[in-house]
């Protein structure tokens, strides 16, 4: 099949954009809902301390997930380009190498986290009170790291292979199953935080097996092959997708720093409060990432087909999408913050944590307005195979600026400085991203400047 026969390069732009973006958004909402559902059941049927324990482990889970994203997105650019050129054999070779690499990486993390669960929990910032919950949760959830990584990777490759609905349906089924299993294991069987991890793991495993049928039944043009070629493509894919790891790691880095700062300054109450904000940050990042993630096959295939006008319209639609998402979350935290926070913290029994979360939300809400645009910058640079530019944007918002502001701003504004660190980092990053965008040759060419 030649590239000009592909819907991505020749079909209705609006239909193609929403065909890829909406299923991807539904799929990533479903993925992120797994943690949100765990948080809801844990906070309401176990304890708010257990909720803090889940939040302590999230940075580690995010890193495992982020490595899968790095490998997958970098590879998806190559796969999309090869498919656009009609080279299915090369696309399949890249896919096979990615599956092997992700499997090896996931099993490594499983062994380390299962055997050294106490040491890892301490490293992540758990104190004695929280350790009671983090260790059993980490032991159980680490068993399913492979399926968590494969669920995401397979969903991206299947979308790039032209079947976005199967990917979203499988992930959505897993999310619904997770809700049901959490209810059974936590509410009915009283398995506590271990039940939450078990329900999550089974949901990941189920979604993964459902998506494997796409390749087993050979429904698309990408398949597992013994002719995998040279491994340097994986090195390039990792480099090209490294910005996506950094974007995902931004949540992990910020969560880790805030968890430790909150434990030191406000104790367990502070971690409980940040858990609520971190869930909102996680969910919004995933929504905006769904938009940015969809740009990889859409831009890479159209760029290979030299369809520049289509790319321009796709980029415009992506910006409108993330602005709408950010404004919606901003409105929720402006007009009904108490109701949002009350889903995870009881305003009476968890009053101290609840009050801290309200203050936190009042400052953090401004970050939601612009973080999506930064993610579009990062994903677009990746799709245009400008990994260094993408890394600069991702590294700025995900590591350098948040870390700098978290340590510097409290010295100037005391406690308020902690709350404004993330919004400030996003603001500086969007300025940097715009400068890079305006001065990149390939983007000037595509945008007709």
Chain segment 341-365, per-residue pLDDT in tens: 998 888 988 888 899 999 999 999 9
Q: According to the model, what pLDDT value does residue 244 have? A: 65
Residue 1 has pLDDT above 70, yes or no: no
Q: Which residue has the higher pLDDT, 383 or 327?
A: 327
CA–CA–CA angle 171, 65, 36 (5° rounding): 60
For residue 414, name the pLDDT band (cuts at 50, 70, 90).
Answer: confident
**pLDDT score at 223:** 76
Q: Tell me the pLDDT tens digit for each residue of 283-308.
A: 888 889 888 878 877 887 788 778 88
Q: How far apart are CA 133 and CA 131, in angstroms?
A: 5
* Rounded average pLDDT over 48-58: 84
Q: What is the pLDDT averaged over residues 3-8?
A: 51
Q: What is the 3-state secondary structure (H, E, C) of the chain?
A: CCHHHCHHHHCCHHHHHHHHHHHHHHHHHHHHHHHHHHHHHHHHHCCHHHHHHHHHHHHHHHHHHHHHHHHHHHHHHHHHHHHHCCCHHHHHHHHHHHHHHHHHHHHHHHHHHHHCHHHHHHHCCCCHHHHHHHHHHHHHHHCCHHHHHHHHHHHHHHHHCCCHHHHHHHHHHHHHHHHHHHHHHHHHCCCHHHHHHHHHHHHHHHHHHHHHHHHHCCCCCCCCCCCCCCCHHHHHHHHHCHHHHHHHHHHHHHHHHHHHHHHHHHCHHHHHHHHHHHHHHHHHHHHHHHHHHHHHHHHHHHHHCCCHHHHHHHHHHHHHHHHHHHHHHHHHHHHCHHHHHHCCCCCCCCHHHHHHHHHHHHHHHHHHCCHHHHHHHHHHHHHCCCHHHHHHHHHHHHHHHHHHHHHHHHHHHCHHHHHHHHHHHHHHHHHHHHHHHHCCHHHHHHHCC
What's the pLDDT at 323? 95
**Of 83 and 115, which is predicted with more confidence?**
115
Which position has the higher pLDDT, 382 or 331?
Answer: 331
**How high is the pLDDT of residue 85?**
76
* Position 2 confidence tier, pLDDT thresholds 50, 70, 90: very low
Contacts of 400 (CB under 8 A, 6+ apart): none
Please write the tens of the pLDDT for every residue from 197-250: 999 999 999 999 999 888 877 777 887 888 877 788 888 778 777 766 766 666
Six-digit token string for 132: 């009671």
Name the average pLDDT for the chain: 86
Cα dist from 314 to 233, 296, 329, whole Å: 27, 11, 23
Sort 104 into a burial class: Cβ within 10 Å, 0-12 / 13-18 / 19+. exposed
Answer whether residue 440 shows pLDDT above 70.
Answer: yes
Please tell me the predicted confidence (pLDDT) of residue 130.
86
**Average pLDDT rounded to a whole number, residues 47-66:** 84
- At residue 195, the pLDDT reads 95
CA 430 – CA 37 distance, rounded (Å): 31
* Predicted model pTM: 0.72
CB neighbours of 412 closer than 8 A, spacing ≥ 6?
none
Please give the structure tokens belonging to residue 229.
């070629």
Task: Answer whether residue 5 shows pLDDT above 60.
Answer: no
Residues of the chain with pLDDT > 90: what percent? 35
């Amino acid at each position: 099949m030649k590239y000009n026969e592909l819907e991505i390069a020749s079909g209705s732009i609006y239909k193609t954009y929403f065909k890829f973006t909406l299923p991807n958004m539904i799929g990533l909402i479903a993925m992120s809902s797994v943690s949100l559902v765990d948080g809801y059941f844990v906070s309401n049927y176990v304890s708010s301390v257990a909720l803090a324990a889940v939040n302590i482990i999230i940075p580690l889970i995010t890193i495992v997930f982020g490595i899968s994203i790095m490998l997958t997105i970098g590879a998806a650019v190559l796969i999309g380009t090869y498919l656009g050129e009609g080279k299915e054999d090369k696309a399949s070779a890249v896919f096979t190498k990615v599956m092997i690499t992700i499997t090896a990486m996931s099993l490594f993390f499983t062994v380390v986290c299962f055997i050294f669960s106490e040491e890892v929990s301490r490293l992540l910032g758990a104190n004695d009170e929280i350790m009671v919950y983090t260790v059993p949760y980490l032991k159980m959830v680490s068993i399913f790291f492979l399926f968590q990584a494969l669920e995401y990777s397979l969903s991206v490759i299947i979308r790039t292979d032209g079947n976005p609905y199967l990917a979203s349906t499988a992930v959505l089924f897993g999310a619904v199953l997770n809700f049901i299993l959490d209810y059974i294991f936590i509410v009915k069987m009283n398995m506590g935080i271990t039940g939450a991890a078990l329900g999550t793991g089974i949901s990941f495993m189920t979604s993964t097996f459902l998506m494997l049928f796409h390749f087993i039944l050979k429904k698309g043009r990408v398949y597992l092959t013994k002719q995998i070629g040279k491994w340097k493509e994986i090195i390039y894919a990792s480099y090209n997708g490294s910005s996506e790891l950094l974007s995902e790691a931004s949540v992990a880095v910020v969560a880790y720093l805030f968890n430790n700062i909150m434990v030191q300054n406000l104790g367990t109450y502070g971690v409980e409060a940040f858990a609520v904000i971190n869930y909102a940050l996680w969910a919004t990042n995933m929504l905006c990432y769904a938009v940015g993630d969809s740009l990889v096959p859409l831009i890479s295939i159209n760029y290979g087909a030299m369809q520049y006008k289509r790319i321009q319209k796709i980029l415009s639609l992506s910006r409108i999408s993330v602005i709408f998402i950010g404004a919606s979350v901003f409105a929720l935290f402006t007009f009904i913050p108490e109701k949002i926070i009350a889903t995870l913290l009881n305003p009476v029994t968890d009053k101290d944590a609840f009050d801290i979360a309200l203050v936190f939300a009042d400052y953090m809400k401004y970050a939601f307005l612009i973080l999506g645009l930064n993610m579009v910058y990062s994903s677009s640079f990746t799709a245009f195979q400008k990994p260094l530019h993408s890394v600069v944007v991702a590294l700025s918002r995900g590591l350098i600026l948040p870390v700098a502001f978290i340590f510097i701003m409290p010295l100037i504004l005391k406690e308020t400085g902690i709350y404004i660190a993330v919004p400030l980092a996003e603001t500086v990053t969007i300025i940097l991203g715009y400068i890079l965008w305006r001065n990149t040759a390939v983007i000037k060419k595509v945008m007709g400047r």
